[in-house]
Amino acid sequence: MYRTHTCGELRLTEVGQSITLSGWVQRRRDFGGLSFIDLRDRYGITQLAFNEGVDADILSKARLINRESVIQAEGIVVEREKKNKGIETGEIEIRVTSIKTLSSAKTPPFTIEENTDGGDDLRMKYRYLDLRRKSVLEKLLLRNKISMLVRTYLNLNGFADIETPYLIKSTPEGARDFVVPSRVNRGQFYALPQSPQTFKQLLMIGGLDKYYQIVRCFRDEDLRADRQPEFTQIDCEMSFIKQDDILNVFEGLLKHVIKEVHSKEIGSIPKMTYATAIKKYGNDKPDIRFDMTFVELNELVKGSDFPVFNNAELIVGINVKGCADYSRKELDTLTSFVKRPQLGMSGLIWMKVDENGIPSSSVKKFFDQSELKKWMTEFDAEKGDLVLILAGEKTKTRKALSETRMHLAEKLGLRKPMEFAPLWVVDFPLLERDEDNNRWMAMHHPFTSPKPEDLKIIDSNPGAVRANAYDLVLNGNEIGGGSIRIHEKKLQSKMFDLLGFTESEANEQFGFLMNAFEYGAPPHGGIAFGFDRLVAIMGGDEVIRDYIAFPKNNSARDVMIEAPSQISDEQLEDLSISIKLKD
Amino acid sequence: MYRTHTCGELRLTEVGQSITLSGWVQRRRDFGGLSFIDLRDRYGITQLAFNEGVDADILSKARLINRESVIQAEGIVVEREKKNKGIETGEIEIRVTSIKTLSSAKTPPFTIEENTDGGDDLRMKYRYLDLRRKSVLEKLLLRNKISMLVRTYLNLNGFADIETPYLIKSTPEGARDFVVPSRVNRGQFYALPQSPQTFKQLLMIGGLDKYYQIVRCFRDEDLRADRQPEFTQIDCEMSFIKQDDILNVFEGLLKHVIKEVHSKEIGSIPKMTYATAIKKYGNDKPDIRFDMTFVELNELVKGSDFPVFNNAELIVGINVKGCADYSRKELDTLTSFVKRPQLGMSGLIWMKVDENGIPSSSVKKFFDQSELKKWMTEFDAEKGDLVLILAGEKTKTRKALSETRMHLAEKLGLRKPMEFAPLWVVDFPLLERDEDNNRWMAMHHPFTSPKPEDLKIIDSNPGAVRANAYDLVLNGNEIGGGSIRIHEKKLQSKMFDLLGFTESEANEQFGFLMNAFEYGAPPHGGIAFGFDRLVAIMGGDEVIRDYIAFPKNNSARDVMIEAPSQISDEQLEDLSISIKLKD
Domain assignment present for residue A125? The answer is no
Domain end position, chosen among B411, B433, B461 = B411
* Claim to verify: residue B444 and residue B517 sit in the same structural domain: yes
User: Chain A interface, mutation test: which of B567, B572, B583, most A Cβ atoms within 10 Å?
Assistant: B567
| CA-wise closest residue to B473 among B320, B276, B265, B193 | B276
CATH code at position A29? 2.40.50.140
Rounded Cα distance, B11 and B160, in Å: 42
Residue B262 carries which side chain, given as an amino acid letter?
H
Tell me what pLDDT residue A569 has: 93
* Claim to verify: residue A70 and residue A195 sit in the same structural domain: no
Say what the ipTM of the complex is: 0.96
* Claim to verify: residue A332 and residue A352 sit in the same structural domain: yes
Residue ranges of A 202-261 with Cβ closer than 8 A to chain B: 202-203, 205-210, 216, 218, 220, 222-223, 229-230, 232, 240-242, 245
| CA-wise closest residue to A23 among A112, A84, A85, A109 | A112
Is A487 near chain B, with CB under 8 Å? yes
The alpha carbon torsion through A269, A273, A275, A278 (nearest 10 deg) reads 10
* Cβ contact B388:B317 at 8 Å: yes
List the beta strands (DSSP E) in A436-566: 439-442, 469-474, 477-484, 524-530
* Claim to verify: residue A359 and residue A431 sit in the same structural domain: no
Is A181 near chain B, with CB under 8 Å? yes
List, in order, residues 6 or more apart from A412 with CB less than 8 Å away.
A320, A323
> What integer is the mean pLDDT of A237-261?
98
Per the CB < 8 Å rule, is A166 touching B216?
yes
Per the CB < 8 Å rule, is A560 touching B512?
yes
Rounded Cα distance, B15 and B77, in Å: 5
Domain assignment present for residue B575? The answer is no
The alpha carbon torsion through A240, A246, A252, A255 (nearest 10 deg) reads 170
* Claim to verify: residue B376 and residue B239 sit in the same structural domain: no
Secondary structure of chain B: what % helix, strand, coil (to 5)?
30, 25, 45
| CA-wise closest residue to A136 among A550, A559, A563 | A550
Mean pLDDT, rounded, of chain B: 95
Tell me what pLDDT residue A558 has: 96
* Cβ contact A92:A80 at 8 Å: yes
Domain assignment present for residue A580? The answer is no
* Claim to verify: residue B488 and residue B463 sit in the same structural domain: yes
Residue A223 carries which side chain, given as an amino acid letter?
L
Rounded Cα distance, A295 and A450, in Å: 30
* Buried residues in A5-34 as b, exposed as e (16+ CB within 10 A): bbbbebeeebeeeebbbbbbbbebeeeeee
The alpha carbon torsion through A214, A215, A221, A226 (nearest 10 deg) reads 40
| CA-wise closest residue to A194 among A467, A493, A433, A446 | A446
CB < 8 Å to B151, chain A: 148, 151
Domain end position, chosen among B387, B411, B435 = B411
Domain assignment present for residue B281? The answer is no
Give yes or no for residue A361 having a pLDDT over 80: yes
Q: What digits encode the pLDDT tens for the residues A72-117?
A: 999 999 999 999 999 999 999 999 999 999 999 999 999 998 888 8
* Claim to verify: residue A68 and residue A28 sit in the same structural domain: yes
CATH code at position B401? 3.30.1360.30
* Claim to verify: residue A431 and residue A524 sit in the same structural domain: yes
Rounded Cα distance, B419 and B264, in Å: 9
Tell me what pLDDT residue B6 has: 98
Tell me what pLDDT residue A88 has: 95
Angle among Cα B269, B270, B272 to the nearest 5 degrees reads 140
Residue A498 exposed, middle or buried by CB count within 10 Å (0-12, 13-18, 19+): buried
* Claim to verify: residue B358 and residue B451 sit in the same structural domain: no
- Residue B42 is nearest to which of A68, A208, A565, comparing CB atoms? A208
Rounded Cα distance, A167 and A161, in Å: 18
Give yes or no for residue A455 having a pLDDT over 80: yes
CB < 8 Å to B187, chain A: 566, 579, 581
Tell me what pLDDT residue B583 has: 60
Is A172 near chain B, with CB under 8 Å? yes
Give start and end residues of each alpha helix (H) in A364-417: 369-379, 394-411
Closest residue on chain B to A199 (Cα)? B550
Residue A436 exposed, middle or buried by CB count within 10 Å (0-12, 13-18, 19+): exposed
Domain assignment present for residue B6? The answer is no
Closest residue on chain A to B248 (Cα)? A1
Domain assignment present for residue B260? The answer is yes
How sure is the predictor about A317, in pLDDT bands with cuts at 50, 70 and 90?
A: very high
* Cβ contact A289:A414 at 8 Å: yes
* Claim to verify: residue B438 and residue B354 sit in the same structural domain: no
CB < 8 Å to A207, chain B: 24, 40-42, 131-132, 137
Rounded Cα distance, B494 and A324, in Å: 72
Closest residue on chain A to B513 (Cα)? A561
- Residue A565 is nearest to which of B1, B188, B561, comparing CB atoms? B188
Domain of B29?
12-103
- Residue A187 is nearest to which of B103, B132, B581, comparing CB atoms? B581
The SS3 call for residue B401 is helix
* Claim to verify: residue A266 and residue A160 sit in the same structural domain: yes
Q: How far is A34 from chain B (nearest CA, A)?
A: 24
Domain end position, chosen among B411, B438, B462 = B411
* Cβ contact A72:A20 at 8 Å: yes
Domain count, chain B: 3
Residue ranges of A 365-424 with Cβ closer than 8 A to chain B: none
* Claim to verify: residue B252 and residue B147 sit in the same structural domain: yes
Q: How far is B453 from chain A (nearest CA, A)?
A: 18
Q: How far is A42 from chain B (nearest CA, A)?
A: 6
CATH code at position B492? 3.30.930.10
- Residue A555 is nearest to which of B108, B185, B523, comparing CB atoms? B185
Tell me what pLDDT residue A541 has: 93
Low-confidence ranges of chain B (pLDDT < 50): none
* Cβ contact B215:B532 at 8 Å: no
Tell me what pLDDT residue A302 has: 84
How many C-beta atoms surround the C-beta of residue B518 within 10 A? 16
Q: Helices A328-339 and A394-411: crossing angle, nearest 10°?
A: 140
Q: What digits encode the pLDDT tens for the residues A188-228?
A: 999 999 999 999 999 999 999 999 999 999 999 887 777 89
Give yes or no for residue A166 having a pLDDT over 70: yes
Domain assignment present for residue A131? The answer is no
Rounded Cα distance, A506 and A274, in Å: 29
Per the CB < 8 Å rule, is A550 touching B164?
yes
Residue B448 carries which side chain, given as an amino acid letter?
T
Q: Helices A134-156 and B134-156: crossing angle, nearest 10°?
A: 140
Per the CB < 8 Å rule, is B1 touching A241?
yes
Closest residue on chain A to B522 (Cα)? A70
Radius of gyration over every alpha carbon of chain A, rounded to an integer in angstroms: 30
Domain assignment present for residue A174? The answer is yes
Backbone angles phi, psi at A533, to 5 degrees: -70, -40
Angle among Cα B382, B383, B387 to the nearest 5 degrees reads 60
Backbone angles phi, psi at A44, to 5 degrees: 160, -160
Is B156 near chain A, with CB under 8 Å? no
Per the CB < 8 Å rule, is B220 touching A108?
no
* Buried residues in B222-232 as b, exposed as e (16+ CB within 10 A): ebeeebbbbbb
Tell me what pLDDT residue A583 has: 60
Residue A128 carries which side chain, given as an amino acid letter?
Y
